[in-house]
Amino acid sequence: MKTDDLIGLLSNQVTRVERGAVARRIASTLALGALGSVILMSVVFGVRHDLASVARTAIFWAKLAYPSVIAVGALLAVMRLGRPGARPGYAWALIALPFVAVWAGGLFVLDAAPPGERLSLVLGHTWHTCPFNIALLSVPTFPAAFLAVRSLAPTQLRLAGAVAGLLASSMATIAYCLHCPEMSPAFWSVWYALGMWIPAAIGAWLGERLLRW
């Protein structure tokens, strides 16, 4: 087919591009993924029994804010990475800020604790399962995040894949917060971070394969 014919094919009966249609579809895809994570969490791990009383403490909301802000940053970054020529800009700051804040909080807690208790503050009771639990809860959100990015036009595939993975794992972490009994920033700073980075690394690895267009 000659290029002129292709131009004819592309422009003939071209339909109007609905503004916001893609954003709506992405929102519903991600919501479905998040719902999947919450269901998986309640079936496999169970909602923590003291949730009602814990929900009245500030530390619970600080814990929830940690993956939530990362998720917002990752969503903004991924939407921009999905548009050719756009740069994530301040979305990076939004992703970095919670990690830095929790690391600072963790150091502060460790500094205040007696030396003998520091290790147990970091390891908590669930350090050996926590990152893998978060990775498991990312199973529903991961394809949702990749579908979302695929409906856009990413040009930096590995980066877009990594951020999509982070979006998936941070949403999964929000769901995991409803189960996880660990309440120390020293714990979150290591194991939650690791749990979020594993799917991000997988996303970077799969990006080149799954996001090509």
Name the residues that contact other proteins, by CB under 8 A. Answer: 1, 3, 5-17, 21-22, 82-87, 152-153, 155, 212-213
| Residue 3 vs 111, nearer CB to other proteins | 3
CB of residue 201 to other proteins, shortest distance in Å: 22
CB of residue 88 to other proteins, shortest distance in Å: 11
Phi, psi for residue 29 in degrees, rounded to 5: -60, -45
| Residue 161 vs 199, nearer CB to other proteins | 161
CB of residue 155 to other proteins, shortest distance in Å: 4
Distance CA 153, CA 213 (A): 7
Burial class (CB in 10 A: 0-12, 13-18, 19+), 89: exposed
| Residue 41 vs 81, nearer CB to other proteins | 81
Distance CA 182, CA 174 (A): 13
| Residue 20 vs 115, nearer CB to other proteins | 20
CB of residue 152 to other proteins, shortest distance in Å: 5
Give CA torsion, residues 105, 111, 112, 115, to 10 deg: 130
Asked whether 149 and 160 are in contact (CB, 8 A), the reply is yes
